[in-house]
Chains A and B, each alone.
Chain A
Amino acid sequence: MGAECQVMGLFTDEDRAASTVKALKKTPWHLKQVHSPVPSHKLSEALNIKKSKVGYFTLVGGIIGFFLGFALAMFTSAKWSLIVGGKPVIALVPFVIVGFEFTILFAVFGNVIGLLTQGGLPDYKGLNVYDPRCSGDHFGVLAACPEAEKNQLITYFKEKGGVTRVFEPSPSADP
C-alpha cells in the first residue's frame, strides 16, 4: 500500500456538500474532515454528529461559580468586617450579586474549556489540510485515498459538482 493522499472537494452549495458527505460513506475512501464557513444543520445531520457535551462544562462551571462567588464574598467580609448601618457582616441579600456575577463568569470559563477540549483545539496539524476558501463561501469535504486512486477521487468530487484541491503528503508541510 502506497502513501495516503488527501483530496478536498470544495462546494458552494450546502446540500451538495451534505449529500457528498453521505455518499462518501459508501465508497472505500475515508472521510477525514468537513469544513464549513457557517454552522450547518444539514452537515451535522449528514455527519451524524453526537450531541455536544459542551453544555455540561458550562453547567458545572456555573454551579462552581455560584458557590465560589458567595464563598468569596463571605470570606472577604469575615476577614475585614466593616460594620455599616448595623447590617450583619455576612448578609446573603447583597451577596447574591457577587454570586450571580461569578456564576456567569465561571459558566463562561467552563464553556471555553469545554469548547477547547471537546473541539480538540488548538489543532495545528489541521492547518496543513486547510483551504482558506472554507472561511469564505465554500464547504470543504476532505477525504483520504491511496495515492493510486487519487484521480478517481478527484473525478468523484467533480461529478458531485465541486472544485478539488489535492494535499500531497510532503515533509516540508510539517511544522
Chain B
Amino acid sequence: MLSLKNKRLVILGAVLIALGFLAFVIQAAGDHPERAWQAYLINFLLWSAIAQGGLLFSVIMHLTKAKWSGPLNNVSEVFAAFFPISFGLFLILFLGKSYVFPWLHMDLHGKEVWLNVPFLFFRDGMALLILYGLGFAYLFNALQLKTIRQPTGGRLRSFLDQKMGANPDVKRIRQRMSTFSVLYALAFACALSLIGYDLVMALDPHWVSTLFGAYQFIKAFYVGLGGLIILASVLYLSQGESSGLTSSHFHNLGKLFFAFCLLWADFFYVQLVVIWYGNIPEETAYVIERTMASPWNLLAWCVFIVCFVLPFFILLNKNVKTKPKFMMILATVILIGIWLEHLLLVGPAISHGTRGLPLGLLDGLITLGFFGLMIFAVVYFLDEFPELKRFEPSAGKR
C-alpha cells in the first residue's frame, strides 16, 4: 500500500501538494501576504520537527541499547527522508523574509549584530546542515546493518549499495553508529534551540526566555513521537503481522509519548512560573498578549487542553495505548494542537493587531500541501528500502 506504485496514493499526494501550493499563491497574492508566510513558517517548523524528532527515536534507542523498540527503529529512520525537503523549505523562507521577520523594520537597540538576515540564514542553515549531515551519517551506518544487498532498482539504493561494503564489520559499524548518535542528539538540542530562538522567539525581538530553546526541542521530540505513532499505525494496519509490530510496541511507544506530553507541559510551566514570579513588563507582555488578550486567549486554552489535558487523561488508560487505530487518531489531534501552538507563538508577531484569529481554510490547505510532501518523502524512502517495513528478526540482530 505504501509504495509509489500505488497510483491512488501518488495522485492523493500530488493533489495535496498542488492544493497547498495554490492556496499559498492565492494567500500570498491577496490582501494578507503575511498570512501565507505565517502558515509556511508554522508548517516548516512542524514538519521539520516531526522528521528530526522521528529520527531521534532510533538514535536514542541505539544510545540506550534498548531492545524493546525493534521494528519501531526502522519506522523512525524513514522520517530522515524529509531532511532534504526540510532544508529546501528553509532556503525558500528567504523569499518571505520581509513577512516572517517583523524585526526587519524595528529599532533593535544593538541586537542587529545578532538579528540580521545574512547572519541568521548562515547560522541556521549551517545548524540544519550539520544536524541533517549527522542524521544521514547515522542512518547510513544503521542501514548497513539492516539491508540485504539486493538491488531494488532505485537510483539511491544502487548508489548506497555501492558505498556500503559487501561484508559489513558489525562491531565497527555499531561503534560508528554510537558516535554519530551522540553527535546527532547533541546537534538536535543545539540546532533546534537555535532555530527556536531565531525563527520563533526573535519574531518578538524584545522578549527573551532562556528556556525557549529547550522548550522547542522537547516539543520537537514530542511531535516526532506523534509522527512515529501515526506512521507505525499505518504500517501495522496496512501490513499486519509482516510489519513486525505488535500491540506491546504500541503500548510502550504510547508510554513514551505520554511521558513527553508531561515533559512538554512541564517545560511550558517552568517557563511560565519564572515569568510570573519576575513580573517584569517586558517579559509578561508576551504571555499576556497570548493567554489573556482576545483573540489569542481562546486559542491558548484550546492548545493547552488539546496538547496536555486531553492526552494526559486518555493516555492514563493502558488499553487505549495498545490500539494503533486509536493512537493514530490521538496523535493526529495532538499534532494539530501543536500546529495551533506554533500559531500562538508566531501569530501575534506576524499578524500584528488582528481582530480575529488569523486562521482559515487556506491555512489548512497549505498544511495539507506539506503533508503531501511528507507522504512523498516517506513513500519514496520505503520504496528504496523495503526492508524497513518488512521486519525480519534475523536482520536486526546482525
Contacts and interface: CB of A to CB of B under 8 A. Distances in A.
Contacts of B316: 59
A96 interface: yes
A171 to B, nearest CB: 47
B273 interface: yes
B237 to A, nearest CB: 27
A148 B277 CA distance: 78
Contact of B276 (A59, A86, A94): A94
B279 A93 contact: no
A85 B273 contact: no
Interface string B185-225: 00000000000000000000000000000000000000000
Interface string A58-102: 010000000000000000000000000111000101101100000
B276 A96 contact: no
Contacts of A97: 273
A6 to B, nearest CB: 37
A96 B279 contact: no
B273 A94 contact: yes
Nearest to B276: A93
B326 interface: no
B272 A85 contact: no
B269 interface: yes
Interface in B250-284: 269, 272-273, 276-277, 279
A85 B276 CA distance: 11
Contacts of A85: 279
A97 B269 CA distance: 10
By CB atoms of chain B within 10 A, which of A86, A93, A96 has the most?
A: A93
Contact of B272 (A59, A87, A91, A93): A93
A94 B269 contact: no
A96 B277 contact: no
Nearest to A85: B279
A3 to B, nearest CB: 45
Contacts of A96: 269, 273
Contact of B277 (A59, A86, A94): A94
Most buried by A among B272, B277, B279: B277
A59 B277 CA distance: 31
A59 B280 CA distance: 39
A86 B276 CA distance: 12
A86 B278 CA distance: 11
A165 B316 CA distance: 44
Nearest to B275: A93
Interface in B279-318: 279, 316
Interface in B126-143: none
Nearest to B266: A100
B270 to A, nearest CB: 10
A107 to B, nearest CB: 12
11 contacts: A59-B316, A85-B279, A86-B279, A91-B276, A93-B272, A93-B273, A93-B276, A94-B273, A94-B277, A96-B269, A97-B273
Which 10 residue pairs are nearest across A and B when measured between Cβ atoms? A93-B276, A93-B273, A85-B279, A94-B273, A96-B269, A93-B272, A94-B276, A94-B277, A97-B273, A87-B279
Interface of B: 269, 272-273, 276-277, 279, 316
Given A86-B279, A93-B273, A96-B273, 5 more contacts: A85-B279, A87-B279, A93-B276, A94-B273, A97-B273
